[in-house]
């Protein structure tokens, strides 16, 4: 067993720590492995952040359009979920090594919650836009009828 009073990282003591048990590996391999885990982890954090940013941008559009408060609140709940499942991993140190699977599961939940929130907002924006759109324009006036009906007078629908 290796103990130290220094606040440090086993990365600085690979021979004294990891290689005591993992005797088939060398220091270079352990460093490569650790870098791979950290980069994989950081990629997942960036992915969750990308979707959080898209969600936050959608709030601005939704509020400018003035969507229903109910849809806004539903999307806010998704934002809470997305935020909590992301922020934890920005504060944790060493999760890439110690909790990689849990981190990936939680960060995937974050991205899914952001995407669900975006969908709620986009649906509400669409609904608002179609409610606000001008009524469809009447079709071009029908050609004058031999019957002499005034232009614009209701036409008796022909058999369809």
Residue list 18-37, contact with ligand HEC (CB under 6 A) = 18, 20-22, 30, 33-34
Output 66 or 94, the one with its CB closest to ligand HEC. 94
Structure tokens at 111: 């991205």
**Which residue is closest to ligand HEC by CB?**
18
Output 32 or 50, the one with its CB closest to ligand HEC. 32
16-24, 76-84, 131-139, 144-152 -> range binding ligand HEC (CB under 6 A)? 16-24
Residue 115 binds to ligand HEC (criterion: CB under 6 A)? no
Cβ contact 55:118 at 8 Å: yes
Cβ contact 43:105 at 8 Å: no
Output 65 or 100, the one with its CB closest to ligand HEC. 100
- Residue 31, number of CB atoms within 10 A of its CB: 14
How many DSSP H helices and E strands does the chain contain? Answer: 5, 0
């Amino acid at each position: 067993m290796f103990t130290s009073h220094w606040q440090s990282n086993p990365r600085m003591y690979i021979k004294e720590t990891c290689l005591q048990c993992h005797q088939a590996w060398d220091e270079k391999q352990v460093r490569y492995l650790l870098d791979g885990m950290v980069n994989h982890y950081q990629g997942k954090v960036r992915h969750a952040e990308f979707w959080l940013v898209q969600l936050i941008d959608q709030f601005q559009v939704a509020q400018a359009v003035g969507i229903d408060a109910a849809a806004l609140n539903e999307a806010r709940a998704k934002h809470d979920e997305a935020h909590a499942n992301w922020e934890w991993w920005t504060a944790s140190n060493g999760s890439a090594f110690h909790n990689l699977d849990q981190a990936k599961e939680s960060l995937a939940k974050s991205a899914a919650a952001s995407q669900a929130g975006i969908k709620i907002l986009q649906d509400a924006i669409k609904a608002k836009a179609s409610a606000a759109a001008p009524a469809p324009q009447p079709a071009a006036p029908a050609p004058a009828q031999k019957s002499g009906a005034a232009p614009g007078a209701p036409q008796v629908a022909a058999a369809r």
